[in-house]
Homo-oligomer: A and B are copies of this chain.
Amino acid sequence: MSKAGYAPLDAEGIRHYLHAIPVARERLGQDHAAWRIREVGDGNLNLVFIVEGEGAVVVKQALPYVRLVGESWPLPLKRSFFESNALFIQEKHAPGLTPKVHHFDDRMALIVMEYLSPHIILRKGLMQRKYYPKAAATIADFMALTLFNTSMLASSAEAHKARIELFASNTALCRITEDLVFTDPYRQAALNRWTTPYLDGIKAAFERDNPLKLAAQEKKWQFLTEAQALIHGDLHTGSVMVTEEDTRVIDPEFAFVGPMAFDVGAIIANYLLSFFSHRGQAVDGRPDSYCDWLLEQTEVLWTVFESRFLELWQAGGKGEVFAQGLFEEVADAQALAAHRRTFMQRLFRDALGFAGCKMIRRILGLAHVQDMESIGNPEIRARAETLALTFARQLLLHAHGFTGIRDVAVAAQEHAHP
Binding site for B on A (CB under 8 A): 152, 157-158, 160-162, 164-165, 168-169, 171, 174-175, 178, 183, 186-187, 208, 210-211, 213-214, 217, 220-221, 224-228, 320-322, 324-327, 329, 331-332, 335-336, 339
Contact = CB atoms under 8 A, between A and B. Distances in A.
A85 to B, nearest CB: 15
A393 to B, nearest CB: 16
Contacts of A174: 157, 161
A408 to B, nearest CB: 25
B210 A335 contact: yes
Contacts of A227: 164, 225-227
Q: What 3 pairs between A and B have smallest CB-CB spacing?
A: A210-B335, A165-B168, A214-B339
Given A210-B335, A213-B326, A226 B224 contact: no
Contacts of A162: 168
A168 B168 CA distance: 9
Given A157-B171, A210-B335, A214-B335, A221 B165 contact: no
A152 B171 CA distance: 14
B210 A152 contact: no
22 contacts: A152-B221, A157-B175, A158-B171, A158-B175, A160-B224, A161-B169, A162-B168, A164-B227, A165-B169, A168-B168, A183-B324, A187-B324, A208-B332, A211-B335, A213-B326, A214-B322, A214-B336, A221-B321, A224-B320, A225-B226, A225-B227, A227-B227
Contacts of A210: 327, 331-332, 335-336
Contact of A161 (B171, B183, B320, B329): B171
Contacts of A326: 183, 186-187, 213, 217
A224 B321 contact: yes
Residue from A158, A178, A210, A221 with most neighbouring chain B CB atoms (10 Å): A210
A157 B178 CA distance: 9
B325 A187 contact: yes
A161 B258 CA distance: 12
A160 B226 CA distance: 13
Contacts of A175: 157-158
Contacts of A336: 210, 214
A210 to B, nearest CB: 4
Residue from A165, A214, A325 with most neighbouring chain B CB atoms (10 Å): A214
Contacts of A183: 324, 326
A59 to B, nearest CB: 30
Contacts of A321: 217, 220-221, 224
Contacts of A325: 187
A215 B50 CA distance: 52
Contacts of A327: 210, 213
A322 B157 contact: no
A183 B324 CA distance: 8
Given A210-B327, A214-B336, 18 more contacts: A157-B174, A157-B178, A161-B168, A164-B227, A165-B169, A183-B326, A208-B329, A210-B336, A213-B327, A213-B335, A214-B322, A217-B321, A217-B326, A220-B320, A221-B321, A224-B320, A225-B227, A225-B228
